[in-house]
Amino acid sequence: MSSIQDIQNEIIEEFDILGDDKESTIYYIMELGAQLPEFPESERIEENIIKGCQSKVWLTTQEDEDKIIFLADSNTDITKGLISLLIRVLSGRKPQEILQAQLDFIDKIGMGNIIGSQRSNGLAAMIKQMKLYALAYQTKQTI
Residues identified as active-site: 53
Give the whole-angstrom CA distance, residue 57 versus residue 64: 23
Query: Rounded distance, CA 143 to CA 90, Å?
Result: 23
Q: How far apart are CA 101 and CA 116, in angstroms?
A: 23
DSSP single-letter state for residue 59: E
Please state, in angstroms and rounded to a whole number, the distance separating the CA atoms of residues 53 and 31: 20
